[in-house]
Structure 1
Amino acid sequence: MMPRPLNSITPPIGINIRFPFFGQSYDVIRVYSHGLILFGNVTYSLPHSPPGPFPLRDFVCAAPYWADTDISQDPSSNIFYREITDDDTLTRVSNMIRNGFPQLSTHRMLWAFVATWDRVPGHLTNIGRNTYQAIIATNGLYSFTIFLYNQLEWSAGAWGGYPQVGFNAGDQVNFFTLANSFTADVVSVVDDSNVGVPGQFFFLTNGNISEVRCNSTQGLQSSPFRGSMHGGYQLRLFGICFHESSSTVEINGNRIPDCQVTAVYIICTMPMVSEGRLQIKIFDAGRNVIGQTEFLSFMPETNADLILSNHGELDNALLLLEDRRLHLHFLRNALTTNYLFRLAT
């Protein structure tokens, strides 16, 4: 949840993917209370309302409703944000994008992020509340920006100036400003659309759709590209074509079993691994390397008890019936497909 002071901006949010946005990739974003998602670990001195129409140089953002918002005095208003990696929600986002871009009907999103401005008022005004969302999503090749509007009851805050809706890549080439921005009629976007559904706007924001190929310029990538050495979470691999369903994935020479392989991505369960930089390689049926990338694994600080806990049945045990008994417990942990040992005397 967003902090409540006026002009709130989140700390840098490290995301689990490198999000492609008009030729650049970002693994850090921020949410600004005045209706912006900002890309990159950059500190901006931001005005309450937009200083002028896009393009703006060296300023990278998605702007569902850049306006003079103030939640500091109204406890009923909130700004929420979260990263989306669970399958059910990603499927819902993918279905929404298919409706907006039928030509991409075979593509499923690997990652998304949603920010919600819920019943937010204007600064020093009491003339209504606005509720809207921004979603950014990617399958590793294409990226999308979605604006969803539920209720818009005000436009100008006490500082003056009307909102801007659109996005800006910071290069003065790739940008978009929605019609009626900088006017009182900007609230009409709640009834307008570019996909035929009132209040919904979908944009392809990685670049020109005709220029996107199966293989990205960055080669094989992973989401997340860093994570716990204990494993147990989804590892998504993308960025190149996977022509064979028999493609196999190895981390530092150890094969990951039971991966789901499609033409544009592979999903595996991350096993328990060693700490540090790891090499992920993908092989075809002839054991030729078709892609490789690095993954950074780290030791979490506080979940040792969780890792050592036995969540399932005991798979094997060795009992030495001597004066001093040695128990060898061979455990299969619920967080990983690897096995753990525990010695007890």
Structure 2
Amino acid sequence: MDEGCPLAPSPGQMKALPILLLLLLTDPWGPLGTCGGPRSPPGLLYPYGAEAGDEATPHEDDGMSPEIILWETFSFYGHPYRSVYVNNNGVLSFGIGVPEFTPQAFPLAGARPLVAPYWADVDTRLGGDVFYRQSRDPRLLARLGRDLAAVTVGQAPSPTWALVATWDRVSYFGAASDKVNTFQAVLATDGAASFVIFNYGDLQWTTGISNQGDPHSGLGGIAAQAGFDSGPGGRSFTLPGSRSPAVLSLGRRSNAGTPGRWIFRVDRAPTTPGPTEPHRGHGGTEERVYVCG
């Protein structure tokens, strides 16, 4: 494995802090003081926040959690991992943090293994929280088991562990609006099979200003990327609409029959349980995507 850090920003990629942002940060009556937007649809996201026992990443640009030592080994594309980082910019990464704020197309040559529910330039200084926790709560595991059973052919898995990461009403770098995104990523395993679940609540923006996004709309430029990359081996899968304006439609689409929910088995080759519309995934395997309206 390459021991470098190809996802670290080069000097030419470093952000400039515009005067507009400095003015907004000091204006308690401006749009940054009205962070909000609709809550996620009830019942889609798994419980999160302080009341669920979550920890939160620091309120900073391009920040991340400390290294999280996993209670159980998580197998990802045939590689066992025992630690993960929850990165503010919409990425879970194994073994090393990912501060990179520009979403890159998969596969990532020589890159670190990562799971990206919504890789974009999040700035929690301007609004929102990034929560995370490991859990063996029987109620959560039972609910995960039911959701996995709904898309599993044959014997349904019974998860014994999960990690839940939630980006709750997070803003974007350089925001001059109150647009926010809410989404969630779950890692779950029964000790053999490993699963990734993406839940998308309200998605209102795709791009921060350092990626040529508009400060008022949060749109344009290099839009968010969603999917996962194996790192070693070069296997990957990209969700439809990634790095385009259509990425906002992930909250209305699904491969699991529930709008806004996407479920993948990831311990070996990427698979996408669920019926109907065919979609060609990166890496040459045929994935099946269910479109809900």
Whether TM exceeds 0.5 here: the answer is yes
Based on CA coordinates, which of the two structures has the bigger radius of gyration? Answer: 1
Check if 1:109 corresponds to 2:159.
Answer: yes
Instruction: Determine the structure 2 residue equivalent to 1:12.
Output: 67
Deviation track 1:264-298 (CA, whole Å, cap 9, x = no partner) reads: xxxxxxxxxxxxxxxxxxxxxxxxxxxxxxxxxxx
The secondary structure found in structure 2 opposite 1:91 is: helix
User: 2:131·2:166 contact (CA, 8 Å) conserved in 1?
Assistant: yes
Check if 1:129 corresponds to 2:190.
Answer: no
- Shift of residue 127 of structure 1? 5.0
Letter in 1 for 2:205: W
Instruction: Determine the structure 2 residue equivalent to 1:199.
Output: 260
Distance 1:148 1:56, change over 3 A: farther
1:132 and 1:93 map into 2 onto residues whose CA distance is: 17
Check if 1:139 corresponds to 2:194.
Answer: no
Instruction: Determine the structure 2 residue equivalent to 1:301.
Output: none
Instruction: Determine the structure 1 residue equivalent to 2:280.
Output: none
Check if 1:154 corresponds to 2:215.
Answer: no
Question: What is the total number of aligned residue pairs between the two structures?
Answer: 205
Check if 1:93 corresponds to 2:144.
Answer: yes
Equivalent in 151, 170, 174 of residue 231 of structure 2 = 170
Q: Let me know the Cα RMSD of the aligned residues.
A: 1.7
Higher helix share: 2
- Shift of residue 65 of structure 1? 0.1
Instruction: Determine the structure 2 residue equivalent to 1:302.
Output: none
2:246 and 2:141 map into 1 onto residues whose CA distance is: 33
User: 1:156·1:184 contact (CA, 8 Å) conserved in 2?
Assistant: no
TM-score w.r.t. structure 2 length?
0.67
User: 1:85·1:110 contact (CA, 8 Å) conserved in 2?
Assistant: yes
Dislocated runs of 4+, deviation >4 Å: none
1:23 and 1:157 map into 2 onto residues whose CA distance is: 34
Q: Any gaps of 5 or more consecutive residues in structure 2? A: 1-55, 212-221, 272-293
Letter in 2 for 1:81: Y
Pick 1 or 2: higher relative contact order, CA cutoff 8 A, min separation 6.
Answer: 2
Higher strand share: 1
Q: Any gaps of 5 or more consecutive residues in structure 1? A: 211-345
Distance 1:209 1:65, change over 3 A: closer
TM-score w.r.t. structure 1 length?
0.57
Deviation track 1:107-165 (CA, whole Å, cap 9, x = no partner) reads: 20011100000001111122511001000000011000000001101101111221100
- Shift of residue 43 of structure 1? 4.8
1:187 and 1:193 map into 2 onto residues whose CA distance is: 13
Identity %: 32
Check if 1:50 corresponds to 2:103.
Answer: yes
Equivalent in 181, 190, 194 of residue 242 of structure 2 = 181
The secondary structure found in structure 1 opposite 2:154 is: helix
Check if 1:84 corresponds to 2:135.
Answer: yes
User: 2:106·2:237 contact (CA, 8 Å) conserved in 1?
Assistant: no
Letter in 1 for 2:268: G
1:30 and 1:94 map into 2 onto residues whose CA distance is: 24
User: 1:61·1:167 contact (CA, 8 Å) conserved in 2?
Assistant: yes
2:180 and 2:60 map into 1 onto residues whose CA distance is: 18
2:121 and 2:179 map into 1 onto residues whose CA distance is: 13
- Shift of residue 50 of structure 1? 1.3
Letter in 1 for 2:89: H
Equivalent in 84, 94, 107 of residue 39 of structure 1 = 94
User: 1:35·1:117 contact (CA, 8 Å) conserved in 2?
Assistant: yes
Check if 1:190 corresponds to 2:190.
Answer: no
